[in-house]
């Protein structure tokens, strides 16, 4: 569940927090495109080092590392499946090549998650909503997306609390076969689902009381306005992205 910590905003007064959210989103997208373009471990290592420098400035290193730690089981699964595929199909002849390319694909998955984790850790849900609205995304979809971001970490925390409560009552969740474990999760999923439905009902009532959707033209208390430092950061990111594309097309 620690992977969901990357979706939770943490307040800060750093230069990264103060950047225009549109710039942060575009920088995250540029990093994702670089991850798609490159399958070399050395380039991915450079990219994750850049991300580490950004989160160090933003002072969210510990929470960013939780996201990476939470992605490790998925990365291990990707590594194992690709290794089996490469060996069974004979795509690569040596175990060293199989290991390298399987590691690169697992590495890319970690970078996918860590790239957007920086954006969510340093951007408030309100700023995300303003970003999507400024790009003419219908507010109904924007509100649904923001609500999912808000409630996903809360539901994950409730799941942990319910599991701890069941363990305290003597339920051994980690023992038995697959069917036995599935049955043991029933007393966990039932209260979790009940709490989720209750929260959804309360949210629907609050939206109805506040006449959600009554006004066709919405106004915002805060407006996004790019500053010179935002343009400077975006220009720097575009320069590095251009160098990455150039090296991909014309290796030195």
User: Is pLDDT of 193 > 70?
Assistant: yes
**57 or 211, which is more confident?**
57
Token pair in block for residue 85 = 């595929």
Q: 162 pLDDT band (50/70/90 cuts)?
A: confident
Q: Do 120 and 9 meet the contact criterion of CB atoms below 8 Å apart?
A: yes
For a pLDDT cut of 70, what percent of the chain falls above it? 96
Q: Do 6 and 113 meet the contact criterion of CB atoms below 8 Å apart?
A: yes
47-66 tens-digit pLDDT? 999 999 999 998 888 888 88
User: Is pLDDT of 196 > 60?
Assistant: yes
pTM: 0.77
94-127 tens-digit pLDDT? 888 888 889 999 998 888 888 888 888 888 888 8
Q: What's phi and psi for 97, nearest 5 deg?
A: -65, -40
User: Is pLDDT of 145 > 90?
Assistant: no
User: Is pLDDT of 68 > 90?
Assistant: no
User: Is pLDDT of 132 > 90?
Assistant: no
Instruction: Pinpoint the alpha helices (H) of 38-177.
Output: 41-58, 61-89, 95-122, 125-134, 139-168
For a pLDDT cut of 90, what percent of the chain falls above it? 15
- How far is the C-alpha of 82 from the C-alpha of 41, rounded, in Å? 16
14-30 tens-digit pLDDT? 888 888 999 999 999 99
Burial of 47 per CB tally in 10 Å (0-12, 13-18, 19+): buried
Taking the domains of the chain in order of start, what are their residue ranges? 2-123+223-249, 138-209
Q: 4 pLDDT band (50/70/90 cuts)?
A: low
Secondary structure element (H or E) that encloses residue 228, with its range: helix 228-249
- How far is the C-alpha of 61 from the C-alpha of 118, rounded, in Å? 10
- How far is the C-alpha of 154 from the C-alpha of 161, rounded, in Å? 11
Q: How much is the mean pLDDT over the chain?
A: 84
73-90 tens-digit pLDDT? 889 999 999 889 888 887
What's the confidence (pLDDT) of residue 7? Answer: 66
Sign of CA dihedral 218, 221, 226, 230: negative
User: Is pLDDT of 148 > 60?
Assistant: yes
- How far is the C-alpha of 123 from the C-alpha of 89, rounded, in Å? 44
Q: 250 pLDDT band (50/70/90 cuts)?
A: confident
What's the confidence (pLDDT) of residue 1? Answer: 54
7-16 tens-digit pLDDT? 677 788 888 8
């Amino acid at each position: 569940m620690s992977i969901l910590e990357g979706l939770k905003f943490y307040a800060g007064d750093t230069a990264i927090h103060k950047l225009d959210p549109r710039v942060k989103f575009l920088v995250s997208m540029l990093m994702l495109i670089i991850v798609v373009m490159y399958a070399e471990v050395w380039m991915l290592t450079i990219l994750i080092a850049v991300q580490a420098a950004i989160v160090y400035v933003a002072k969210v290193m510990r929470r960013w590392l939780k996201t990476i730690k939470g992605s490790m089981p998925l990365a291990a699964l990707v590594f194992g499946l690709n290794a089996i595929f490469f060996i069974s199909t004979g795509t690569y002849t040596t175990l060293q090549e199989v290991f390298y390319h399987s590691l690169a694909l697992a590495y890319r998955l970690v970078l996918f998650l860590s790239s957007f984790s920086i954006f969510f850790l340093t951007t408030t849900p309100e700023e995300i909503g303003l970003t999507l609205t400024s790009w003419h995304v219908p507010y109904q979809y924007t509100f649904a997306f923001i609500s999912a971001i808000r409630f996903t970490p809360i539901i994950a925390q409730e799941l942990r609390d319910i599991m701890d409560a069941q363990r305290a009552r003597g339920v051994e969740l980690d023992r038995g076969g697959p069917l036995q474990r599935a049955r043991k999760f029933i007393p966990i999923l039932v209260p979790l689902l009940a709490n989720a439905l209750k929260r959804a009902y309360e949210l629907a009532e609050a939206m109805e009381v506040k006449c959600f959707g009554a006004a066709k033209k919405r106004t915002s208390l805060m407006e996004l306005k790019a500053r010179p430092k935002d343009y400077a950061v975006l220009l720097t990111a575009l320069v590095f992205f251009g160098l990455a594309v150039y090296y991909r097309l014309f290796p030195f």
